[in-house]
A and B are shown apart, each in its own frame.
Chain A
C-alpha cells in the first residue's frame, strides 16, 4: 500500500504527491471520505487522479491510498437484473442504505456476498485446470447457466482440492490449485483490459431486433457494431429500448451514460413486466443496467462504458450472445473532453482531445463474435447512440464513430416531427452486414434480397419525385409516378413505421417482415401493369386491399401468419378484376 498527500484540487481532477510507487491506472482511495479515484498520469512522485465521486469539501493535505491494483469490476453470479453506477456500485442497495441521494464515500459490494449459490463441480482433485475448462456450473437464473472457469488472469495448474456439489457463497472458496491459490465463484477483472478469447469469427448470424426497418433494410449481425445518431427528440432512447426489449440476444447490458435519470427508472419499471417472446421469461432476467446519469460525477461516466463492456465480455466468455446499448456515447466523449480540459491537454476538434478516435476504436473493437477459450461461440453486439449537437452529423463524435461501426441508423428530424417512429432515415442509413446475412435471410424467405432491393429502389425514386412534387404538386405527375408515391406511402405507413406501444406491432418476426414487404411490392408491380394498360390511378387508389395491407402490421399477430392468406386473396381478387377489365 502506498500513501500520498493531496496537493491540488481542481474539480474531479486532483494531484497528490508521495505516490512514486503507485502505478498508472491504479485505483486509489482519496481524501478523508476514501473516495474512489484512478491515477491517470504520473510525473515524478506526483500523481494526477480522477475522482469518481463528488469531492466537494476535499482539502489539500488529505491522504491518498493506493492498493496497487487497477480499477476492476467483480464478476460472478448475481449480476443479472441489477443496476450499477459507473464504478459498479449497486444503486438498488445504495438506495436501501443511504436514501434517495447518492452520497459520496459509501462502500458497498457489487454482488451479494451472503447469497448461497448451488455449485456443481465438473472437475475433481488432481485434474488439470486449463484456461477455458469449466470448473463447474452455477444456475444463475432459471434459464441462465453460469459456468465457472479459471479466471483468465490466474495460472493454469492442477487442482489440489475441489469442493463437493452444494451451496456456496461468493466468499467461500470452491477449489484450491496446486500452488495454493483458492478459487471462488467470483473474481475481479480490470475494466480497461479486454478479456481474452481464442479467435475472432465472421458474422453470419443476424441480431434480430423485431424492428422491421432495421432487420430488413439495415440489419446487424451478432457481434456487429452500430451507431444511432440523432438530435434530441428523434427517438434514440426509444429505439434502444425497443432493441433491448425485443432483440434475440441472451444478455443485454444497458449503459445509461450521461442521460436522464427517469429513463433508467423507466427501464426498471417496464422491463420486469415484458416477457421475452422466445423464452417467456421477464426480460429483466437477462438485463444488467449501468446508470451514470447526467447529474452523477463526470469521471464515473467516462469509466461506465468500460464497466459495461467488461460485464458483457464476462458473459460472452460463457458462450452467450450479449448486446450492449450505450446511450449515449456522445456524453461519454464529453466526459473525456471535460477531463482532458481539466488536465490542460491540447484540444483537437471542438475541444475534444486528440485521442478521442483511439478511445472510440478501443471501445467498439471490444465487440465482435468469437470462439471462447472453452471453444463455444459467443458475441458482443455494440449499439451506441450518438447525440450530435444541433443534430449536425458532421461533428467529431459522429464522424469518428462512423469509422468504427458498420451499421449506421441515422435518425431524421422531419420523420420524428411527423411522429414517424422509428425515425430511421432510409436515405442516410446504411448497413454493411447485408451481404454477410444474405444466407440467413434466404433461408427465411428466398425473396428477401430481391424484395429488399426493389423496395429500396422504390423509396429512392419516391425521394426524387418528392423534390418535383414540392415544386409542382403531385397532380402534375403521370399516373405511373403517382403510383410510386402511393406505394412508397404504403411502405412508410405499413412497414417502416412501427408502434412501440401496439401489442401486435411492437415486435415482428422475420417471416412477417418479409411477407408484408413482398405483398406491397406485388401490389406495386401488378398495379403498374394495370396502369400501363390504361387504367386511371383513381381505380387503384380506391381498392380496399390497400388499407388491409397497411394495417397488416397491427392486425396479424406473429403467431398467426396464416391470416396473410386472406389479404393475399383479397389482393388477387381486386387486382384480378382490374386485370381482366384492362386485359393485362
Chain B
C-alpha cells in the first residue's frame, strides 16, 4: 500500500511509463535475439519459422479484436486470406512482384476485409457474433473456391515470383531472405501495436471490452471504435497473409479457412490474450509443438496437442504468458513482505 501512495506522489505514472519503454526495448531485443538464434540453430527449418512469423501476425491481429476489444471471432482467417490472395493475385496476374508492394497490397486488402467483416460481425453479440464470424470466413472460402479463374480454386494460386527485396536480395531456396523480411516486419508491427495499445484508442478498446454501456455513458463511440480496431487488425492479418505468399510463392485455399481461424484462437488462448506477447508465444509454441509431435507420431499428434490445451486451460487460464506473469508477481510480492 505504501508503495502505491509513494508512487502517486509527484512521480506518479512516470515510473510505469519508463518501465513499459524498457519492456518494449527488451521485447524487441528478445525477438531479434531469438530469431538470430533459431536462424543459426535450425538453418533447415527457415520455411517453418517464416510460417510461424506469418501466423504470429494473424494471432496478433486476433488479439487486437478479441484480447483488447473483446469481440469474439472464429473467422479471422478471412482477413489473413484476403491479404494472402491480394498479394498473390497482384503478383501472378498484374505483375506486382516487388515484395514490399505485395506486403502493402496484402495489408490494404486485409484492412478492407476487416472493415467489411466488422460490419457483419458487430451486428450481433456473444454467440450470435461467433456464428456470424464463422459465416464470414466460410463465405470468403466459398468465394475463393468459386472464382478459380482468379484464385486457382482448390488447386491453389501458383505462378507467384516475388522480385528481389530492395532489388538486391533474391528469395533463395533456403528461405533466408523470407525469414529476415518476416522478422523485420514482425518487429515493426510489434512496436506499432505496442504504441497503439497504450494510446487513448487502445485504452478505449479495453474499456469497451469491460463495459460498453459505461463507455457510451461517457459519450465515447463504441461501434466506430470497434470498426476502426477491426480495420487495423485486418491490416496486420493481411500483412501476415501477404508475408506467407511472398515466402511460399503459393496461396492455398486453407489460408481462408475456418480451421485456421479456430487454430489462431487456440494459439491466442494458449499464449494468453490481451498482452501481445501471448499471441507471439502461443503461436511459436503451438506450431512448433504441432510440427514436433506430428513428426514423432503422425497418427495421434492431435491427441497430444489437445492434451496440452486442456492442461493450459485448466492450470493456466490466462495462458502461458499469464502464468509466467502470475508467478513473477507472486515472487516479487513474496520477496517484499
State yes or no: do A and B come from one complex: no
A: residues with CB less than 8 A from B are none
